[in-house]
A and B are shown apart, each in its own frame.
Chain A
Amino acid sequence: MGHIVMNHLEKSFGSVQALRPSSLSIAKGSFTTLLGPSGCGKTTLLRMLAGLETPDGGEIHVNGECYYSKVKHVNKPAHQRKFGMVFQDFALWPHMTVFENVAFGLRAAGMKAGLQEAVLDALATVRLEGMEKRYPHQLSGGQQQRVAFARAIVMKPQLVLFDEPLSALDALLRDEMRAELLHLVKEAGVTALYVTHDQTEAMSMSDEVVVLQGGEILQQGTPEQIYSAPEHPFVARFIGKSNWLMKDKWMLRPEHVRFREADAEDHRFEAKVRHASYMGDRYEVELEMQENLGIWTAYSPSRLLVGDKVQVYASPEHVHEVVS
C-alpha cells in the first residue's frame, strides 16, 4: 500500500467551515497538488496532515498507522509525524546557520553519528555546497528556497508537504524554481503533497491534481483529466479557458475552436470579433457569440479585425459534457 489516507476529515474555524468532510488518498512516490483559490481549504488540509491544526473529525492513516482519529482519540503531535515541510516564506530560523537549519530535525531526534554527512549530503542535493556556514539573510531567495527543501528531505521523510513554496519568489525566479523543485523531488524520490493557487504550477508539476473550492474537493485526477474532462463547472472555469455551449453543461476548450470547417459533422457558430490580442505565436481572439452563447475565446494564426463577422466550427468529440 504505502498510502496516505484521509477519511472524512473536517475543520471549522468559528462559524466558518474551512473544510467539509473530505476524503483523499495519496499514492507512494506521487506528486499530488491541492489546487484552489484562496480560502478553499487547501492550506487547512495540509496543516491538519502536518499536525499543526487539529481536525474536528475524521481520520488520518499513514502506511496503515493511525495518526489521527476523532473516534479512537488518537492525535499524533506534529513533532512525531516525521514529515518534511517547505513553508510559505520558507520559515528558515534566522539565528541559525544553513547547516544548523538543516540539522535541526536530526539533532532533535538525538542523532550524532553521521549527522555531518547527512546534512552535507542534503545540501549537495540542492547544490549548496560550501554555503553551510552562512545565515539565511545572506542568501538569495532561490538559495533560501533550496535550504528549505534540504531541511525538508534530510530526515528522509515518508511525505514532504509544500505550502505555496514558490509564492515568496518573484515571477522570473518562480518559473526557474518550478522546474528545479520538481527535479529535486523526483531525485530525492519522496512523496510530495503540494499546495498552490497557481494552475500552471499544478498542471506542470503534478502526477495528481486535487481541485478544491469552498472547503470541498471537487475533483481529483491527472492534470490531463482535470483539463479535458472537468467534472464540475468550477473546475472547467478555474483551469484553462472555457467556452460554453450550454451554461455549466457543454464545454469546449479554445484550442478546439476552428475558423474552417473540417468535417460535415462539425457544429457551426456565428460570431463577431470583440477583441484580438497578439501573443507572439498566435492571436487570442475574444468572440461575441450569436444565439446568446456569451463570450468565447479562440486562437487564430492571422489577425482578425474587431467587428468582423466570422463563422467558427468545432467537432462534436471535443464538446465535453460536465457531469460529476
Chain B
Amino acid sequence: MQSSLFKNYAWLGMGLALVLLGMLVLAPLLIVFGTSLYTDQKLDLLAPLQIIRQSELSEVLFNSIWLGLCVIAATTVLAFPLAWVMAKTPLRRHKWLDIVLLIPFMTPPYIGSMGWMLFMQTNGYMEQFIPASSALTPAFFSFGGMVAIMSLHLFPFLYLLLRNALLQIGGSMEEAAAVHGGGFLYRLRRIVLPLLLSSYVMGSLLIFVKTIAEFGTPATFGRKIGFYVMTSEIHKYISSWPIDFGKATSLASVLLAACLVMWYIQSTISSRYSYRLVGGKGAIKQTATMSRWGWALCWMYIGVLLIASIGIPYFSIITASLLKLRGVGLAWDNLTLQHYVDLLTPGSASLEALLNSFGLSIVASTIAVVLGTWFALTVQRSRTPGQKLVDLFSLLPNTVPGIVIVVGLILLWNAKWMPIPLYNTYGMVVLTYVILFLPYTVQYVKASYGQIDPMLLQAGQVFGGRRLYVLRRILLPLLLPGMLAGWMMTFTIANRELVASLLVLPPSMKTSATYIFAQFEQGEVSMGMAMAVITVGITTVLLLAMNVFSSQQKVE
C-alpha cells in the first residue's frame, strides 16, 4: 500500500516540522511571555503593565505609540499624492520610479538615520552648503525629525499598496460609476474611497507595526535627541549595566502583544473588507490629461521626495566616507579613497567584520533556504489545520518585532537548563539569522509552488516517476527561482542586520553592521560610512537586480 505509506510520511514530516518550528520560533516567544508574566513565583497576566507603570516606563510605551501614529500620518501625506500621480497621470509609464522608490525601503534604517544626522547636525553638510540654515538644526533634532526620517524610510510601502489599489479600481469600476450618472465627487465618495479604504487601513496598520518594532532609528537618532521607545529600552536593559531582564521582557511582551493584535486586526480586515478587484480584460486605463503646470508640479513633487528619501542620506554617507579631514569640510581636494583602502586592508578589524558578515549570511541563508523550502512544501496550499499551523509559525518571525525574538532566543539558549552550548558562539548568530529571516524563503517558495499546476506533478507520476524522481526532476527545478529569491533576500538582509548582531554576537566578534554602529558612536565616522557604502552598496544592488529580474520574468 504505497499510498498509505506516503500518507504516513506526510504525517511524520508535518509532525517534525511542527516540533522544529515550536522549538525555534514558538519557544523563544513563549519564554518572553513566561518570564514577564511569572513574577514572584506566581502568574500574573498584568505583571508586565505593573512593572512598566512602577518603573516609569509608561512614558516609553506612550512614546512608541505616539511615534507610530505620527509616522502613519506622515507616510500618508507622502504616499497618497505619489500613488495618485503614478496611477492616474501619464507619469505612470515611468516604471523605473517603482524600482528607485524601493531604495529607501531597502536602506537599513540605522544607516539612513546616520546619513540624515551627518547632513543636518551642527557643522553638517547642509550648513556647509547654506550657512544660514544652521537655524534649522535644533528644529530637526527633535521628535519631528525622527518622524520625518522614519516616514521617508517607510512611505514606499504604503505607496505601493495604495497605487495598486488605485490601479485596480481605475478603469472599468470608475467608468461604470460615471456611465450610471456619478459625478466626480460622488464617484470618489461612493466608489474610490470605500474600495481604497481597506488597502489604506491595512497599510497603515503595517506601518504602525513596523514603526514600533523599528530599532535602527531609535538606536541612533532617538538616542541622540533623548527620545526613548520600547525597542531602544529593551536593548538598553539587556545590553548595558544594570541588566534587567524583568523590565526587558515586560516591554518585549507588551510590544509583542501590540504587534500581534495589530496583525490580527489587519488580517481580519483584509479577509472581510478587501474585494477581488480584477480589472477586466478590456479595461482601458484612463489617464487624466495634464497641463504644463500639472507636469511641473508632479515632477517637482517626485523630485523632492527622491532627494529627501534617497539623495540626502546617500550623499551624506558617501561624502563622509570620502572626506580626508572632517574639520576641513566639503572641498574637492579634501576627498580621498584612503578610508576604503584602510577598510579593506588584510588583517584589519574592518575587513574581518566584513568577511564575518558575508560568512554568517551565506551559512544562515543556505540553512534558511533548506528549512524554508521544506516548510513551504509542508504547507502546500495551506488546507489542513496542520498545514495552516506550519504556515502561521514559519511566518511568525516576520510578524513580531525582531528584537522580541532575539530577547527570547537569548533567554532560551542562555538558560541554565539548556543542554546545547550554543550561546555565545558563531552558531548562535547563525541560528538567530535563520529564524529571523525564515519567512522570506517560505513566502517565495510558497508563491512559486502556488504557480505550479498540480497536473505537472501528476503527469510526472503517470509517466513512471517515483516520488523522489518527480521531486528532483520536476518540482525542485520549478521551485528554483523562488528558492534563489529566498536565498538572496536572506543573504542581503542578514548582511546588514543590526539588532540581532548587537545582542547575540560573541564578545570578540564583529559584523559590518556592528562595526558601522561602533565607529559612528566613537566618532570614526569616515571608516563607518565607508563600510556602510560597501555593504549597503553591494546588497542594495543585489536586491534591485533581483527585483528587476523577477519583474522581467513575470512579463514573459
Contacts and interface: CB of A to CB of B under 8 A. Distances in A.
B478 A75 contact: no
A87 B477 contact: no
Contacts of B3: 54, 75, 77
Contacts of A77: 2-3, 461
A51 B462 contact: yes
Contact of B460 (A75, A84, A88, A104): A104
Contacts of A81: 462
A52 B458 contact: yes
B285 interface: no
Contacts of B477: 95
Contact of B466 (A84, A87, A93, A108): A108
B473 A104 contact: yes
B300 interface: no
Contacts of B241: none
Nearest to A47: B458
B465 A79 contact: yes
B479 to A, nearest CB: 10
A71 B273 CA distance: 50
A75 B2 contact: yes
Max chain B Cβ within 10 angstroms of own Cβ: one of A79, A84, A105, A107? A79
A192 interface: no
A76 B3 CA distance: 9
B474 interface: yes
A83 B465 contact: no
A94 B478 contact: yes
Given A91-B453, A95-B477, A104-B473, A79 B461 contact: yes
Nearest to A107: B473
Number of chain A interface residues as a range? 20 to 34
Interface in B447-474: 453, 455-456, 458-466, 469-470, 473-474
A151 interface: yes
B1 interface: yes
Contacts of B462: 50-52, 78-79, 81, 83-85, 161
A91 B464 contact: no
Interface string B197-215: 0000000000000000000
Nearest to B466: A79
Contacts of A151: 463
Contacts of B469: 79, 108
A91 B464 CA distance: 15
B465 A89 contact: no
A93 B455 contact: no
Interface in A44-61: 50-52, 54
B483 to A, nearest CB: 13
* Chain B binding surface SS class: helix
Given A75-B2, A77-B2, A105 B455 contact: no
A311 to B, nearest CB: 50
A112 interface: no
Interface in A134-190: 151, 155, 161
Nearest to B463: A105
A212 B1 CA distance: 30
A73 B463 contact: no
Nearest to B6: A77
A78 B461 contact: yes
B463 A108 contact: yes
Interface string A101-122: 0001101110000000000000
Given A73-B1, A75-B2, A93-B459, A105 B478 contact: no
Contacts of B461: 51-52, 77-79
Contacts of A91: 453, 455-456, 458-459
A102 to B, nearest CB: 10
A85 B459 CA distance: 8
A84 B461 CA distance: 11
A75 B2 CA distance: 7
B444 to A, nearest CB: 17
Contacts of B463: 79, 84-85, 104-105, 108, 151, 155
A82 interface: yes
A52 B453 CA distance: 15
A188 B2 CA distance: 32
B525 to A, nearest CB: 49
Contacts of A75: 1-3
Given A108-B463, A108-B466, A78 B453 contact: no
Contacts of A88: 455
Nearest to B453: A91
A91 B458 CA distance: 9
Contacts of B478: 93-95
Contacts of A83: 462
A52 B462 CA distance: 8
A323 B473 CA distance: 53
A262 B455 CA distance: 57
B227 to A, nearest CB: 53
Interface in B1-43: 1-3
Interface string A210-222: 0000000000000
Contacts of A161: 462
A109 B464 contact: yes
Contacts of A50: 458, 462
A46 B197 CA distance: 47
A50 B458 CA distance: 10
A112 to B, nearest CB: 15
A50 B464 CA distance: 11
Nearest to A100: B473
Given A54-B3, A76-B2, A79-B464, 8 more contacts: A51-B461, A51-B462, A83-B462, A93-B456, A94-B456, A104-B464, A107-B473, A108-B466
* Closest A-B pairs by Cβ, 4 of them: A105-B463, A78-B461, A91-B455, A91-B459
17 contacts: A50-B458, A51-B461, A75-B1, A77-B3, A77-B461, A78-B458, A79-B463, A79-B465, A79-B466, A82-B464, A85-B462, A87-B458, A91-B455, A91-B459, A104-B463, A105-B463, A105-B465
Interface of B: 1-3, 453, 455-456, 458-466, 469-470, 473-474, 477-478
